[in-house]
Structure formats: C-alpha cells, structure tokens
Amino acid sequence: MKPEIKEIMRLAKLAPSQKSIAEDYYANLSMNFKNAGEGLFKIKQIMAKYKLGFKTAYDAAMDPSQLEILKTMNQK
C-alpha cells in the first residue's frame, strides 16, 4: 500500500475495510495536483489552519471557491 493511501486513511479516520475510499481520494488528488503528496500537504495545511476534518479540507482543496469561502469566514 502506498504511503499516501495510509496517510489518507489515518487523516480521514478510515477503517482498513474502507481502503477503496482512500484509493478514490488518492486518485482524485493525483489527478488534480502534481502528485497525491502535494494534495495531501495542502489538505493538512487547511485542516490545521481552519481546524477542519479531512473531508471538509479535501473538498476545500479540490474546489477553490470553497477555499475562498473558508478564507472569508476566517477573517471575522
């Protein structure tokens, strides 16, 4: 198993039986960033900065408009 998939499973709190979900996240990150590692780095930054769970941070990393909304909400 790729280390990125293990990291996704850890961050998303997925059970070993949910490996296919982590693989889907991995595939989407690989397609939308230079590589999955870069996407994971961005997700971790969003999780830490905005104190969000994996799924919400993943959605924000994948959709720039959601990230802008988070930035706007964080300024208040």
Q: Domain of 8?
A: 3-74
pLDDT, tens digit, 9 for 90 and up, residues 6-60: 999 999 999 999 999 999 999 999 999 999 999 999 999 999 999 999 999 999 9
Could you tell me the sign of the dihedral formed by the alpha carbons of 63, 42, 58, 29, in that order?
A: positive
pLDDT of residue 61: 94
Domain count of the fold of the chain: 1
pLDDT of residue 72: 86
pTM of the model: 0.89
Q: Would the pLDDT of 76 be above 70?
A: no
Instruction: Tell me which DSSP letter residue 40 carries.
Output: H
